[in-house]
Amino acid sequence: MTRQPKLLAFSGSLRKNSLNSLLVQVTAAGAAQAGAEVTTLHLKDFPMPLYDQDWFDEHGFPESVLKLKGLMKAADGFLIASPEYNGSLTGALKNMIDWVSRAEEGEAPLALSCFVGKTAAIMATSPGGLGGLRGLNHLRQILEGVGVLVIPAQQAVPGAFQVFNESGHLTNDVQRQSILDLGATLAQTTGKLI
Ligand code: FNR
């Protein structure tokens, strides 16, 4: 490891009591224990309209997008917990990816400056029996398409309403360790690449 890897952790949910936001915090703790510097953010703090090219041509980037893109550019990798909406990722997460994929002034049109050369670990939790696994397949494909190295390990945690206690703690020790390990794996992999 040449320097401490910088990771950004967030979920694809805008919900205040998001279970995926709880999940990503566990992975973030695992990555921090493995030596990464982890910053956790909430997409709700970066409000942005639905990407509409006409709107973009008139107004340019919202401040929130520039701020988020700046944070993503400064990171080496991402820990992303993605709720499954109708078998896919959330519209909010896809919309965010679309916004930050657009080139800023001075960047080549296909620079994908906040994605290319970065790593990611993806995870999900949902009340269903597959734990949001179907959405992860789509998210993996999208991230790889914009140049992110998504590590093979991933986690989908079923029974989301039962696995966290009232304090938001993931109660099953074996499950918790797997989620911590996912964060540690991303930290270690990223550390070898930077
Ligand atoms: C869902 N949910 C859901 N769950 C699932 O396992 N598979 C699915 O396809 C869907 N589809 C879906 C669509 C929409 C529009 C909503 C609002 C919800 C349930 C979803 O997993 C649940 O609401 C989670 O709690 C969402 O994650 P957060 O917000 O708690 O992180």
16-33 confidence digits (pLDDT tens)? 999 999 999 999 999 999
Q: What was the pLDDT predicted at 4?
A: 96
pLDDT of residue 82: 97
Q: What is the pLDDT of residue 94?
A: 98
Buried-exposed string 48-72: b where 16+ CB fall within 10 A, e elsewhere: beebeeeeeeeeebbebbeebbebb
Domain coordinates in residue numbering, the chain = 6-193
Q: What is the mean pLDDT of residues 3-28?
A: 98
For the whole model, what pTM was predicted? 0.98
- Strand 155-157 and strand 77-81: the pairing is unpaired
Q: What is the enclosing helix (H) or strand (E) of 72?
A: helix 63-74
Tokens 């992303």, located at residue: 80
* Cβ neighbour number for residue 23 with a 10 Å cutoff: 31
Tell me how far the alpha carbon of residue 126 lies from the centroid of ligand 1, in angstroms.
6
Q: Which of 17, 84, 93, 157 is the pocket-test mutation for ligand 1 (most atoms within 8 Å of CB)?
A: 84
Which of 85, 86, 164, when mutated, tests ligand 1's pocket best, judged by the most ligand atoms within 8 Å of its CB?
85
CATH superfamily of 6-193: Flavodoxin domain (3.40.50.360)
86-118 tens-digit pLDDT: 999 999 999 999 999 999 999 999 999 999 999
